[in-house]
Each structure stands twice: as structure tokens, then as C-alpha cells.
């Protein structure tokens, strides 16, 4: 494989997040060359390939695994497939970028880490909040002492629920809002504070709005304690009307900063007639809306993809690894255990013996 030039990339999956990866990578022609996409539904991979001028479209992801040119592959499939795909890629010597959450179980996380280590490939955990310009600015100020000692980091991510059926099926997703969105907030607070160990978690959650279609939680409130005494407060919802809401608040003894990801980057807009697109998951473009501009850049996706390419070329060390993804997943198991048992749970946490998926910690214990 070449050690210079654009990194040759494959994408597995062809829908929501695959489109984001492809669009972001296409902004980086000097760093990334997308060679192939694979997705099982006939025609879907081809559509993505045509949209982004990707030479090859496959229905079997093993065609990407076996492709001799491809150096790095991004996994944008349902959570329950992350582990088997990552392990197959590692065995074939491909560097792995895995979307959040890293996988469904801790055993899968361990197997992914071991396979990538054994076969000498990078396992990069795709947490774009580490690249979101507004949030990176907040961390830079905190690291430069702007707020003194930071004792509280709040992160919240909310919308009215995911776009694909598998998210709502606890068997395939592994959990609801806490898993799907809380993985961002937990990773964020941990990273923001400089990666201190998470010592405890308390989560209150439930299914408040979407009980007709899911047993997953659609509202989750989580408090984390970190070694050294700082707190994380993570709010997640699949029951929040009005499109995506993503924000951060940081409090220290000497100051604070507030970052609303979408509002500061939007144009307060009123339209009787509507227009093409406002923001992720917004249900309408009529009346008052807040269309964003440069949405991918504001999230940090192109910056994240550029970072992964630099890692493959040995110019950067991964911002987030399989070990980080595993730490987040362990906290999520403990969060569901907290909700199931109605108490604060200490970490490190070993899942209960009768539990497979994170959400089982709640389902098997709730009264």
C-alpha cells in the first residue's frame, strides 16, 4: 500500500451517516480518495456512488474487505454489525473508522480492540464532537485557564427520534437515547476534562412519547462523576420536537461558556412558502425556522475525516481510539444499570451476568 498521496477509502453502509462521510471526504481530495461503497440493498450503494463519483459499488461488504487498494474503511452500518465488520477489516489489514457507538457489547469492543492490535491496524472511534469547531474553541479556552478549574461540563443532544427502523429495535441498536446520543455526551465530557476516569454514574430514563413503537428509552438524564471531582451532566432525547438540538455548557470557578451548536450558526428565518432544507431532522421549513449553513463543517465531520487520513499516513495519533469507545460503552451499561436499580452505580462496571445489551440492564431490573 502507498505511504503517500490520498488515502484510499471504502465506506460500508450507504444511507444517513455514509452520505455524511462521503460528502465530508469529497471536500478533501488531496487527502482522501473514496474507492468503493458497499451496502446490501440493491441500488443503494450505486446511488451513493453516483452521487459522489465513487468508482465501485458493492452489495457485499466483503468486496471492500478484499479490495487490494483500500487502506481505510469507515463503518456506517447499524450498531449490531460494527464488531463483525471491524474484525473482518482488521484481519485484511485495513485501518478501521467505526461510527459511534463503538458496538453493542463490551465483549465485542474487546474483540475489536484485540483484532486491530493483532493485525497492526488503527481502530479509530468516530466522535465528531472532538472536532466540532465551537466545542473545540470551548476546550481551548478551558485548557488555557479561562474558567479556572472546571467542575461541571454539560452536553445535551436531542431530537424527535431516529430516521431508520433498526434504531428503535433494542435487539439491533442495543439501547435508546442514552446509547445513541448519550455516547456523544459521555465521550465529550470525558475528553473535555482531559480523560479522567469516570467513577460513578446516575441515570434517570424512560419511554415517555414513543411507547407505541419501541421499548427503548426516549428521554435520559445522566450525571457522571470523574476522578478529581468534576461532574458531567448529559441530557438526551428522542422526544424533543423541532429538529436537532446540540449544546454544551462549561462551568469553572473562574468563568463559564455556553455553546449552542445550531443557534449561533443559523439565520432566524420566517417563510410562508418553505424552502429546501433547514437543519438535520427539522420537520418543516415554513413559519419560523433556523436554517444552518456549512452544516458538515460546523459539526466537524470534514475535519474529523482529514484527521483520520493523517493518522493513516502517520502524521497524527488518533484523537479517539477503540479504548475510548469502550470506556463510553461501559459507562452506558452502568447508566442503564443505574436506571434499572434506581441508584448511583460505581465504575469500573462489569455487566450483570444475565445481560447482553446495555439496555438489558434496565429492562431486566425495572419493576
Ligand X SMILES: NC(=O)c1ccc[n+]([C@@H]2O[C@H](COP(=O)([O-])OP(=O)(O)OC[C@H]3O[C@@H](n4cnc5c(N)ncnc54)[C@H](O)[C@@H]3O)[C@@H](O)[C@H]2O)c1
- Chain-centre distance of CA 319, in angstroms? 14
Select 328 or 345, whichever has its Cβ closest to ligand X: 328
Site for ligand X in 170-229 (CB under 6 A): 180
CB nearer to ligand X: pick between 275 and 277: 277
CB 215 within 8 A of CB 107: no
Q: How far is the CB of 303 from ligand X (least distance, A)?
A: 13
99 touching ligand X, by CB under 6 A: yes
Binding mask 156-175 for ligand X (x = CB under 6 A): --------x-----------
Any residues with CB less than 8 A from the CB of 134 and at least 6 apart, and which? Answer: 248, 259, 261, 264, 265, 298
**Contact status: 289 vs ligand X (CB under 6 A):** no
- Least CB distance from residue 222 to ligand X, whole Å? 18
Question: Smallest distance from the beta carbon of 44 to ligand X, in angstroms?
Answer: 6
Smallest gap from Cβ 238 to ligand X, in A, equals 13
Is residue 78 close enough to count as binding ligand X by CB under 6 A? yes
Site string for ligand X, 38-57 (x = CB under 6 A): xxxx--x-------------
CA torsion, points 316, 319, 325, 328, in degrees to nearest 10?
A: 170
Q: Which is nearer to ligand X, 41 or 137 (CB)?
A: 41
Q: Distances from the Cα of 365 to the Cαs of 322, 340, 359, in angstroms?
A: 29, 5, 10
Residue in 31, 74, 79, 237 binding ligand X, rule: CB under 6 A: 79
Cβ nearer to ligand X, comparing 252 with 335: 335
| Helices marked H in the chain | 16-26, 44-51, 62-65, 82-91, 106-118, 133-143, 165-168, 170-173, 177-180, 182-192, 295-299, 301-312, 322-341, 360-363
Give the DSSP letter string of 341-352. HTS-EESS----
What is the Cα–Cα distance from 101 to 98, expressed in whole angstroms? 8
Identify whether 101 is preceded by a cis peptide bond (ω within 30 of 0). Answer: yes
Q: Which of residues 5-24 bind ligand X (CB under 6 A)?
A: 12-18
Stretch that binds ligand X, among 74-82, 145-153, 282-290, 319-327 (CB under 6 A): 74-82
Which of 22, 25, 81, 329 is the binder for ligand X (CB under 6 A)? 81
Cis status of the peptide bond prior to 191, with omega within 30 of 0: no
What are the residues binding ligand X (CB under 6 A)? Answer: 12-18, 38-41, 44, 61, 76-79, 81, 99-100, 126, 128, 164, 180
Amino acid at each position: 500500500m502507498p505511504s503517500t498521496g490520498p488515502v484510499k477509502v471504502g465506506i460500508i453502509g450507504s444511507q444517513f451517516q455514509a452520505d455524511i462521510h462521503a460528502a465530508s471526504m469529497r471536500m478533501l481530495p488531496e487527502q482522501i480518495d473514496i474507492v468503493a461503497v458497499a451496502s446490501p440493498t440493491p441500488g443503494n450503494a450505486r446511488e451513493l456512488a453516483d452521487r459522489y463519483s465513487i468508482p465501485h459499488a458493492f452489495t457485499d461488504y466483503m468486496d471492500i474487505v478484499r479490495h487490494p487498494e483500500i487502506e481505510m474503511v469507515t463503518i456506517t452500518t447499524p450498531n449490531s454489525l460494527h464488531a463483525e465488520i471491524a474484525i473482518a477489516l482488521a484481519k485484511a489489514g485495513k485501518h478501521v473508522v467505526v461510527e459511534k457507538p463503538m458496538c453493542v457489547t463490551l465483549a465485542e469492543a474487546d474483540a475489536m480492540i484485540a483484532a486491530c492490535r493483532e493485525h497492526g491496524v488503527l481502530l479509530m472511534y468516530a466522535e465528531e464532537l472532538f472536532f466540532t469547531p465551537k466545542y473545540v474553541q470551548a476546550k481551548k479556552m478551558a485548557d488555557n485557564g479561562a474558567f479556572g478549574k472546571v467542575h461541571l461540563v454539560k452536553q445535551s443532544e436531542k431530537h424527535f427520534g431516529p430516521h431508520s427502523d433498526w434504531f428503535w429495535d433494542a435487539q439491533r441498536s442495543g439501547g435508546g437515547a442514552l446509547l445513541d446520543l448519550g455516547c456523544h455526551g459521555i465521550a465529550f465530557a470525558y475528553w473535555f476534562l482531559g480523560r479522567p476516569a469516570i467513577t460513578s454514574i446516575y441515570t434517570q430514563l424512560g419511554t415517555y412519547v414513543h411507547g407505541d413503537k419501541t421499548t427503548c428509552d426516549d428521554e435520559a438524564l445522566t450525571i457522571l462523576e470523574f476522578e478529581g471531582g468534576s461532574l458531567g451532566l448529559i441530557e438526551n432525547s428522542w422526544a424533543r420536537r423541532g429538529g436537532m438540538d446540540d449544546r454544551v455548557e462549561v462551568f469553572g470557578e473562574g468563568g463559564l461558556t455556553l455553546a449552542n451548536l445550531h443557534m449561533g450558526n443559523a439565520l432566524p428565518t420566517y417563510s410562508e412558502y418553505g424552502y429546501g432544507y433547514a437543519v438535520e431532522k427539522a420537520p418543516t421549513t415554513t413559519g419560523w425556522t433556523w436554517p444552518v449553513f456549512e452544516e458538515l463543517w460546523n459539526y466537524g465531520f470534514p475535519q474529523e475525516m482529514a484527521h483520520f487520513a493523517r493518522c493513516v499516513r502517520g502524521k497524527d495519533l488518533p484523537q479517539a481510539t477503540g479504548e475510548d469507545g469502550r470506556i463510553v460503552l461501559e459507562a452506558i451499561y452502568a447508566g442503564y444499570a443505574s436506571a434499572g436499580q434506581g441508584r448511583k452505580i460505581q465504575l469500573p462496571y462489569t455487566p450483570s451476568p444475565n445481560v447482553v445489551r446495555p439496555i438489558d440492564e434496565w429492562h431486566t431490573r425495572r419493576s
